[in-house]
Structure 1
């Protein structure tokens, strides 16, 4: 979600194939999806990649602000040798690599896989705060090879910002709410229909997401209050699940009217007639009603809403009432979840303003309770005195405590031995020097292999190299066996499940991976956030 990652991902989209592997020009595999045939690329590594395939129609014109539709049939063989554009984001310029026409899927499969291989399927949902596609076009080659050619890997784009999450009764009447999440549902149904043609098993699909992708995973676990459409996956991995404010449509109606005013429009049809850039320019972040000030602006402005159908309640309520699909879950977080996002506060008042601007229904007495729970902490390099307090408060409220709630709820309502929790505590010298600690989703390069996701920290090739196979094989084991221990790395310790009561987790740390209890002080702070959820609207 940070600008450096965004730049690297934009550059990566210019590459003709997934980075980290070479093309075998002698073979170009073709897959017939019924609506189109796609010609992919066979890599020397023994992996076939099919990039930039349409899983839905281009959401343009009258399809803007509507649920995704089936792809238009194509008679000629389509090129699947390069990534399609990602979904254009808040604050971006629409161009060849960032576009409104963006509903593309990428599939990586072992070259040896056939229709009868029935391999486990790993579907990755990228993050970006529902404002951008910030983890796009990851390369599944390394996880396939490390699994012994034992899985199929899928990733894709979904609409974000106003294009994905414009909320209004006008949209409900003549469109679809939560279009970005509906894109994800469309992809999951596409997998059910088509993944066997890549050698995958539609009855063994595991969904993983990072940040907003992990928040999306929790929305899919609770979709339709778990009363229908429950057979799309058999396991879930929310990596630092992102639970921002989740409001009713009426609470977000002001955004729609502000967008109309900014665009000099008077109707939804007028917004549909705007070119992409004009709409983006009319949809900047702005203060929430009830915010303490306009500085800082809320981190995330265009967000999912409770629509009464796909999303019927707040996520805390769903999980604590057992309204979720019963599948094994692997969930975790990083030590310093908030350092990428927190305001660089110099005093408690600035911490309060930062939190109030993101959660405007918090009352003064509640903000005082939060400040007491997050007093002055040891300083972090290159940051003001109360930055550590602000980052801890935001990180726990938005990522860590939601993850712990998921784990505890799965243990309570499903099975305490089929949910595993982790705490990622891998120190990178550059992160430490820049006052980031162990930041949000820092484990991603260890999960997919350095160089196969974002640009990896240098220490993953040197002092932290040993954590990569440990982390990767825990994830691979969960994806393929629904248990992180069955096919774990040979020297890795056993990862005990969450269990009963207050829970336990594994600490993933270079040369010091071990089980640990969830700290009592963190449990107390998470209880505070839980008590405030009707005000934070999580």
Structure 2
């Protein structure tokens, strides 16, 4: 279903607007998956082209797609659609809890088509509604700079998400959902989007659009102020790349540019980024996102009452090019965060030097700095009204947990790698229990084997979802890794330098 007007022409880089057919009250068919927003692939270069010392290279390497694999789903700039699934064939007579999902893909790829909610509705005992939204991606969703701020809107991809949540609040009761029982969930950049919505508007969004937040592997890259050097350079690259350089009003020129030309430069700029990274991402805009995320989270001003965070044991491995000679940890960190100085590079070298081979250090550094530590920053922000889990079934890579909640994603991502019904029910029901009861301890069925689960406090217990060597479920509480928490404190302490 359409939740916003087509963001084309004059509506490019403007906040989402109500559908233009809003007054059409007739029944409309909603029988097919929506077209995906324009897509791009992750960076493939040996070096970050935005390194402060200017030594960034542009060598390209074959690499796997990160986030979500491309599909044969049609691509269209008119892509602001929302999917709603409810139990049975008729709208439920009682108001049910609502689970709203934001797809991942590094803010540059992905779509709603991979996320069929049938299984999760079954896991809820037919007691929940599942909603999946789409939002503008890449330069279409996250172009920044002074010109966009003057005659448009920044972070329109995030504004799309907020607009979709307002659509849910206004209309979900027509599908049997309770607008006061909304849980927002996302994975990877979707989890990062949840983080952004949690801190949006200084945590004072009115009305509150969700009561619980679930962040799976929340992605938090460098998030610069909209008029910092890198966002401004990106804007110039887009303008130059579509021959708008000599235009009196470059943003008007971009709005008049053919989608295909914009999509070409979108792909080129993203692929020229450092291997495994994503170039067009949220910025600090001063309005919706008022300050750096780590600073906002330390203030503890959040939207939502309850938080559930899930990290995977090996988040970073798929974002590291193991076909090249590994850099030292500090040098590698400077590729992820090009504003790092030699002092921080030396500190990072020292912090990771005893944690395996250089490649092991790179894998760990990516996973911790971009995904795992942001999970703990969120936990700190919610101060006790939160739960933490770790998905540890080998290889426990960044995407391996998705098919446990969305079996429909298996073909495009990775299949379930531990096909044990009791384990699958227990892991999937943890999300549904939070959505329905704000507590993963509530058993949705007798098949759940998860032991009692304490709310998270600093250095406290988190639930580990793993398997034994002989392929039996191993779900148990464990203390947080003290060394990891210390490294996260370091990453938090240099947030002003990394831009996080």
For Structure 1 versus Structure 2, the TM-score category normalised by the shorter chain is 0.7 to 0.9
Aligned to 2:290: 312
Structure 1 residues 235 and 91: CA distance shift in structure 2, 3 A: closer
Report the CA distance between 1:219 and its aligned residue. Answer: 1.1
Structure 1 residues 342 and 196: CA distance shift in structure 2, 3 A: same
Do structure 1's residue 271 and structure 2's residue 250 form an aligned pair? no
Alignment of 1:291-302 (within 5 A): 296=274, 299-302=277-280
Structure 1 residues 474 and 95: CA distance shift in structure 2, 3 A: closer
Aligned to 1:103: 80
SS in 2 for 1:527: helix
Provide the rounded CA distance (Å) in 2 between the counterparts of 1:331 and 1:532. Answer: 23
Of 406, 415, 425 in structure 2, the residue corresponding to residue 448 of structure 1 is 406
Alignment of 1:32-181 (within 5 A): 53-73=1-21, 74=24, 77-90=27-40, 97-111=74-88, 114=91, 116-133=93-110, 136-181=113-158
SS in 2 for 1:248: coil
Provide the rounded CA distance (Å) in 1 between the counterparts of 2:108 and 2:324. Answer: 28
Work out whether residues 119 and 405 of structure 2, in 8 Å CA contact, stay in contact via their aligned partners in 1.
no
Report the CA distance between 1:334 and its aligned residue. Answer: 0.4
Provide the rounded CA distance (Å) in 1 between the counterparts of 2:366 and 2:116. Answer: 31
Provide the rounded CA distance (Å) in 1 between the counterparts of 2:487 and 2:193. Answer: 24
Report the CA distance between 1:347 and its aligned residue. Answer: 5.5
- Specify every segment of 5 or more residues in structure 2 that has no aligned partner in the other structure, as ranges: 43-69, 468-472
Aligned to 2:497: 535
Report the CA distance between 1:285 and its aligned residue. Answer: 5.4
Aligned to 1:501: 458
Bigger drift between 495-504 and 307-316 goes to 495-504
Report the CA distance between 1:113 and its aligned residue. Answer: 5.2
RCO greater where, 1 or 2, for CA within 8 Å and sep 6 or more? 2
Question: What's the Cα RMSD here?
Answer: 2.5
Provide the rounded CA distance (Å) in 2 between the counterparts of 1:494 and 1:488. Answer: 13
Report the CA distance between 1:343 and its aligned residue. Answer: 3.2
Report the CA distance between 1:312 and its aligned residue. Answer: 0.4
Provide the rounded CA distance (Å) in 2 between the counterparts of 1:217 and 1:129. Answer: 13
Work out whether residues 143 and 235 of structure 2, in 8 Å CA contact, stay in contact via their aligned partners in 1.
yes
Alignment of 1:8-407 (within 5 A): 53-73=1-21, 74=24, 77-90=27-40, 97-111=74-88, 114=91, 116-133=93-110, 136-251=113-228, 252-265=231-244, 266=247, 267-284=250-267, 286=269, 296=274, 299-344=277-322, 349=327, 351-375=329-353, 377=355, 386-407=358-379
Bigger drift between 58-67 and 71-80 goes to 71-80
Structure 1 residues 516 and 137: CA distance shift in structure 2, 3 A: same
Report the CA distance between 1:445 and its aligned residue. Answer: 1.4
Report the CA distance between 1:407 and its aligned residue. Answer: 1.1
CA offsets 1:392-429 (integer angstroms, 9 cap, x no match): 00100011011011112212xxxx2x3100011012xx
SS in 1 for 2:393: coil
Provide the rounded CA distance (Å) in 2 between the counterparts of 1:332 and 1:401. Answer: 11
Do structure 1's residue 480 and structure 2's residue 430 form an aligned pair? no
Work out whether residues 210 and 240 of structure 1, in 8 Å CA contact, stay in contact via their aligned partners in 2.
yes
Aligned to 1:14: none
Aligned to 1:29: none
Work out whether residues 241 and 403 of structure 1, in 8 Å CA contact, stay in contact via their aligned partners in 2.
yes
Report the CA distance between 1:115 and its aligned residue. Answer: 6.3
Provide the rounded CA distance (Å) in 2 between the counterparts of 1:453 and 1:320. Answer: 39
Work out whether residues 298 and 358 of structure 1, in 8 Å CA contact, stay in contact via their aligned partners in 2.
no
CA offsets 1:41-93 (integer angstroms, 9 cap, x no match): xxxxxxxxxxxx10011111111111111112247643211111011112599
Do structure 1's residue 526 and structure 2's residue 488 form an aligned pair? yes
Provide the rounded CA distance (Å) in 1 between the counterparts of 2:128 and 2:287. Answer: 33
SS in 1 for 2:99: strand
**TM-score, normalised with respect to structure 2:** 0.86
Aligned length: 459
Structure 1 residues 500 and 297: CA distance shift in structure 2, 3 A: closer
CA offsets 1:346-390 (integer angstroms, 9 cap, x no match): 666354443212211111221122122223655xxxxxx522210
Work out whether residues 201 and 289 of structure 2, in 8 Å CA contact, stay in contact via their aligned partners in 1.
yes
Provide the rounded CA distance (Å) in 1 between the counterparts of 2:375 and 2:207. Answer: 21
Provide the rounded CA distance (Å) in 2 between the counterparts of 1:297 and 1:142. Answer: 34
Bigger drift between 216-225 and 481-490 goes to 481-490
